[in-house]
Structure 1
Amino acid sequence: MDRSLSRRGLIKGSVLFAAGVAVSACGGDPLAKTKSSAPAAGAPKVTLNHWYHEYGEEGTQQAAMRYAADFTKANPDIAVKVSWIPGDYGTKWTAAVLTADGPDVYEVNDVSPNMVKAGQVTPLDDVLGAEKADFSEKVLAPYTWGGKVYAVPMIIDPMLLFYRKSLLQKAGVAIPTSFPELVEAAKKLTAGKQKGLFIGNDGIGPMNKLVPWSNGNMLIDDRTIAYDDPKVVEALAALKGLYDSKATLQGYSTDWWDPGALISGAAAMQWIGMWAVPGMTAELGDDVDAFPLPAFGPGGQEVVEMGGWVQVVNGKSKNLEAAKKYVRWLWVENATAQTDWNLGYGFHIPPRTSTAAKAGKLSSGPAKTVMDAVAAHGLKQPALWTTEVSQPYVDAATAIVKKGADPAKTLAAAAKRSQAILDKVPVL
């Protein structure tokens, strides 16, 4: 990597690597057309454009460029242009893949049937190869359509409840084993400027889906909307009780994905991802630990939500085989890069089971708690629970919890709207 390229100078640009050397850097739109001359003798035969969203973790951009440089050293006929995309990444990649100049390789959170049908992704079973068995079926399932896998996981981000041991001990609060116990714990831990629980600045956060999950309803069952159900009514009624209790922190300076509230003591418990473990332990030492969202009650299930990012190859790429070769080299074969990417800058689980098992940073403290919880209770959002399909439910849940709307009637009406949207999703 050309170390004369500063982090600030790179943050909104693209860097092209050929034979492992940074040969150009440009700011602005990575899809902007530029004049080019005929390739010189010995120049790469193929240039891949690899898009990343703008990670906030220091060192990630340099790492992405280092991986590209290492790949081109080993494969001098394939150049890689690393593009770091700031701002609304989702809107930008969605627009980019509609054109012939879209990225060859890019990262997403989800793969929908619409993306498959539009050729925005291509099957990657051959990229996973024999190593497919080393990836959790639970992790691969949301990216599998018609028996084919369309993504390679690069980051697993588990989310669960973290807490301050000393604050629970002082209040005489045990780890909750049901949702009603969680509500009571939040009440007991609320004192003065300290609130018992932080789940989001709106007082709901992701709990609108997670509490029903803990009551045994995943809101969608294959191609059928399932949330017009007494279990969801019960879950949202309980969530409203928590909201009305005034035991949740709201309107904090940062939202639930930042550990500031737990670190400062503004909240005694917080729903957050494993990515925050280094920051929390640096400030709090061994005073922090974690537990899954408890089962709602009898017949329910504990919940650890498994988020993350995956790599896909644009089905419209003119360099499919080269793109697949690059993705396999980086996200399947290269255990060193996978460990570095997940644990060298932020704090995530490497998707390959064998790689995660060898990661020393995941073998003790809160990280070990999280790893055990993921193995026992990890749940991945169903693939068809897309933003479009879920929006009527999100609106309904907000109306129920914050405005006191009738749960059964509100959910029944919303379910019809969600089902109508779901019915338009292509069957693969």
Structure 2
Amino acid sequence: MDREITRRGLLKGSVLFVAGAAVSACSTADPLARNDAPAGSGAAKITLTHWYHEYGEEGTQQAAMRYAADFTKANPDIAVKVSWIPGDYATKWTAAVLTPDGPDVYEVNDVSPNMVKAGQVTPLDEVLGAEKADFNTKVLAPYTWGGKVYAVPMVIDPMLVFYRKSLFAKAGVSVPTSFAEFSAAARKLTQGKQKGLFAGNDGVGPLGQMVPWSNGDLLIDDREITYDDPKVVRALTALKELYDSKATLQGYSTDWWDPGALINGAAAMQWVGMWAVPGLTEAIGDDFDAFALPPFGPGGQAVVNMGGWVQVVNGKSRNLEAAKRYVRWLWVDNTAAQTDWNLAYGFHIPPRNSAAAQAGKLSAGPAKTVMDAVAAHGTKQPALWTPEVRQPYTDAVTAIVKKGADPKRTLSEAAGRSQDILDKVPVL
């Protein structure tokens, strides 16, 4: 029941999104001091630097190097130096792009107006070209400022609720269609050492954002904080009732991004990403499926949170046109590489709709369930819902759900702090 499960072994090395963030490691402690050897640099006139955080999937680093080498074969005037970045990737890329010596191409989760204003990214509309229509519009939207797109998607990672079919059948539970049913199912599925739901080791996890989100856009709407709302008060009150019911697993050996609790039977339902499908299949066969987080309240909507990574080009790059040429070759034209990157090592959705539609691994079983849920309920975090803007809200959720703070007053005070932070974000 409690055998130890490693993140890499279980997820088959997939890349991990906690409310939009990845767990990483690297081959070098100082990415500015040492890079992996550039691919085919002998006759090249230009050398591009391309930064990745270190993915957990076995084989991804070799794949990234292979793509770079293939590009140089087709474009011998341009070499590509691939770097696998250790530790806190976000801190390292943020520092690196402050000068022209930073990477020419790098990957991120979000593109903020501050990044645009600082020249840390550059418009990529010409890179996307006519193929822009083949990319998921919900995924592109948060990277669009002033009518210009500043990123090209490379990985789409949907997150939703996975469950054990046998445990549902044993307890006489059906797939819930409302949050009230979801909460009731968690209680009914809590039997002995088995908890009904695992959403995070704090008992709340991403549900603190997801449950109010199912009421509609009640966190942030453009440049206005909207979570100071009676519907959010009711949603967090219901989440507190679920938390107080002791139906949520807490303090497990791994967190929500690892499906070990579901595999071991420590929980009957779990909020986790599609990256978990290969590990679940290997461990429990077809005894699992998935569903979107059910809507909260009348007029609500089911939610699938669409995380992922995107490629950007450093606006300070001395080789801007070559960098754009490389990004187009790899993440727009080369659908074979995109499918390989997303499905040969881990389990993600290729960014181009046509490539995803042709991927056989996504056409059956739980993967097909997830794809259908994404099509019907996929939602991408608003670009202005930055870590700084949402921190007061996150603190408020903890205070309300775990400490019993007054929801209305706590949300009102937090909304004021979030709005003050948001007002300082530049308008583009």
Structure-2-length-normalised TM-score: 0.92
1:271 match: secondary structure: strand
Residue 290, structure 1, aligned to residue 326, structure 2: no
What is the distance in 1 between the residues matched to 2:369 and 2:231?
29
What is the distance in 2 between the residues matched to 1:97 and 1:139?
24
Distance verdict in 2 for CA 1:74–1:389, change over 3 Å: same
Alignment of 1:169-248 (within 5 A): 169-248=169-248
Residue 335, structure 1, aligned to residue 335, structure 2: yes
Report the CA distance between 1:139 and its aligned residue.
0.8
The equivalent of 2:379 in structure 1 is 379
The equivalent of 1:79 in structure 2 is 79
The equivalent of 2:112 in structure 1 is 112
Report the CA distance between 1:31 and its aligned residue.
1.2
| Contact 2:218–2:232 (Cα < 8 Å) also in 1 | no
In structure 1, give the amino acid aligned to 2:231: K
The equivalent of 1:31 in structure 2 is 32
In structure 2, give the amino acid aligned to 1:395: D
What is the distance in 1 between the residues matched to 2:375 and 2:80?
36
Structure 1 residue runs of 5 or longer lacking an equivalent are 1-10, 14-26, 35-40
Alignment of 1:27-176 (within 5 A): 27-32=28-33, 43-176=43-176
| Contact 2:400–2:406 (Cα < 8 Å) also in 1 | yes
In structure 2, give the amino acid aligned to 1:160: L
The equivalent of 1:316 in structure 2 is 316
Give per-residue Cα distances to partners, 1:19-72, cap 9 Å, x unaligned: xxxxxxxx44221289xxxxxx96311000000001111111111011001001
What is the distance in 1 between the residues matched to 2:26 and 2:252?
29
Structure 2 residue runs of 5 or longer lacking an equivalent are 1-24, 36-40
| Contact 1:150–1:312 (Cα < 8 Å) also in 2 | yes
The equivalent of 1:24 in structure 2 is none
Residue 276, structure 1, aligned to residue 276, structure 2: yes
Report the CA distance between 1:215 and its aligned residue.
1.9
What is the distance in 2 between the residues matched to 1:218 and 1:99?
38
What is the distance in 2 between the residues matched to 1:139 and 1:307?
9
What is the distance in 2 between the residues matched to 1:83 and 1:217?
38
Report the CA distance between 1:374 and its aligned residue.
0.3
What is the distance in 1 between the residues matched to 2:54 and 2:246?
36
Count, aligned residues = 399
Give per-residue Cα distances to partners, 1:222-257, cap 9 Å, x unaligned: 000000000100000001001000000000000000
In structure 2, give the amino acid aligned to 1:359: A
- Higher Cα Rg: structure 1 or 2? 1
| Contact 1:108–1:312 (Cα < 8 Å) also in 2 | yes
The equivalent of 2:5 in structure 1 is none
What is the distance in 1 between the residues matched to 2:158 and 2:34?
39
What is the distance in 2 between the residues matched to 1:371 and 1:380?
15
Runs of 4+ in 1 over 6 A off after TM superposition: none
What is the distance in 2 between the residues matched to 1:54 and 1:397?
31
2:79 match: secondary structure: strand
Give identity over the alignment, percent. Answer: 82
What is the distance in 2 between the residues matched to 1:392 and 1:205?
15
What is the distance in 2 between the residues matched to 1:418 and 1:204?
21
What is the distance in 1 between the residues matched to 2:389 and 2:269?
31
Report the CA distance between 1:217 and its aligned residue.
3.7
1:287 match: secondary structure: coil
Give per-residue Cα distances to partners, 1:335-362, cap 9 Å, x unaligned: 1000000000000000100000000000
What is the distance in 2 between the residues matched to 1:46 and 1:208?
47
The equivalent of 1:401 in structure 2 is 401
Q: Which moved more, 1:343-352 or 1:215-224?
A: 215-224
| Contact 2:223–2:423 (Cα < 8 Å) also in 1 | yes
| Contact 1:216–1:231 (Cα < 8 Å) also in 2 | no
What is the distance in 2 between the residues matched to 1:42 and 1:172?
66
Give per-residue Cα distances to partners, 1:78-136, cap 9 Å, x unaligned: 01000000110011000111122100000000000000000000000000001000011
What is the distance in 2 between the residues matched to 1:61 and 1:241?
45
What is the distance in 2 between the residues matched to 1:42 and 1:349?
35
Give per-residue Cα distances to partners, 1:344-398, cap 9 Å, x unaligned: 0000000100000000000000000000000000000111000000000000111
What is the distance in 2 between the residues matched to 1:216 and 1:120?
32
What is the distance in 1 between the residues matched to 2:207 and 2:34?
44
What is the distance in 2 between the residues matched to 1:331 and 1:410?
44
Give per-residue Cα distances to partners, 1:313-336, cap 9 Å, x unaligned: 000000000000000000000010
In structure 1, give the amino acid aligned to 2:159: M
Distance verdict in 2 for CA 1:351–1:184, change over 3 Å: same
What is the distance in 2 between the residues matched to 1:302 and 1:336?
32
What is the distance in 2 between the residues matched to 1:261 and 1:424?
41
The equivalent of 1:3 in structure 2 is none
In structure 1, give the amino acid aligned to 2:398: T
